[in-house]
């Protein structure tokens, strides 16, 4: 149930901290419930949210974000229909953070389906607190951290607001 979604609680507390907006059009993504998938809108900006999972064998956090087509097959998110922002929440033993990716960067990095890419149905994310990565993971982390806010302690509210609404 959505009441159990810790990522929804995190987002609610962030929104109350950085602005006076309320969110609406809240909808659970029934196909991604393992990753606490849901969508919502704030002040005419639409968001898709997922909770990433820590994995034992590889550094970083894994997150899935596919949808279903008319044949009930799993397919990547499409640039033309995806929300404005994809929020990937990290909640891990006292560490908190969010990646807030604009849909344009997801297109540029070939993560969503577009006219130039078939897209992906999942990815691994690397918060700023992860180190000693292999070359491929370092490369991913280098572009990802531009859209990451470490919420573990104090954080820059202006930066977080900018990632959410600009």
- Could you name the CATH architecture of 2-54+83-104+124-165? 3-Layer(aba) Sandwich (3.40)
Q: Is the pLDDT of residue 1 over 80?
A: no
Write down the pLDDT at residue 2.
Answer: 58
Q: DSSP for 62-106?
A: EEE--EE-TTS-EE--BTTTS-SEEEEEEEETTEEEEEEEEHHHH
Q: Choose among 142, 43, 152, 1: nearest CA to 89.
A: 152
Q: Give me the mean pLDDT over the 135-140 stretch.
A: 98
Element spanning 7, H or E: helix 6-18
**What is residue 45's predicted lDDT score, i.e. its pLDDT?**
95
- 144 three-state secondary structure: helix
CA distance linking residue 85 with residue 162, whole number of Å? 12
Q: Is the pLDDT of residue 161 over 90?
A: yes
Which residue is listed with tokens 């993504």? 29
What tokens appear for 152 in the block? 């573990």
pLDDT at 3: 63
Give the pLDDT confidence of 21-53 residue by residue, as tens digits.
Answer: 888 889 998 888 889 999 999 989 999 999 999
What is the residue extent of each domain of the chain? 2-54+83-104+124-165
pLDDT, tens digit, 9 for 90 and up, residues 55-112: 989 999 999 999 999 999 999 999 999 999 999 999 999 999 999 999 999 999 999 9
Residues present in the chain in total: 166
Which tokens is 87 given?
């929020």
36: nearest Cα among 90, 101, 74: 90
């Amino acid at each position: 149930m959505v009441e159990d979604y810790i990522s929804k609680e995190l987002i609610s507390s962030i929104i109350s901290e950085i602005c006076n907006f309320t969110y609406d059009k809240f909808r659970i993504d029934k196909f991604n419930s393992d990753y606490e998938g849901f969508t919502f809108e704030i002040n005419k900006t639409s968001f898709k949210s997922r909770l990433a999972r820590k994995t034992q064998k590889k550094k970083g956090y894994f997150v899935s974000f596919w949808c279903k087509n008319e044949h009930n097959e799993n397919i990547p998110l499409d640039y033309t229909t995806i929300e404005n922002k994809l929020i990937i929440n990290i909640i891990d033993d006292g560490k908190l953070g969010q990646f807030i990716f604009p849909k344009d960067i997801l297109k540029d990095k070939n993560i969503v389906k577009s006219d130039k890419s078939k897209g992906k149905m999942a990815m691994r994310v690397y918060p700023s607190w992860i180190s000693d990565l292999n070359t491929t993971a370092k490369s991913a982390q280098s572009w990802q951290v531009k859209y990451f806010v470490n919420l573990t302690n104090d954080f820059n509210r202006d930066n977080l607001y900018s990632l959410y609404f600009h």
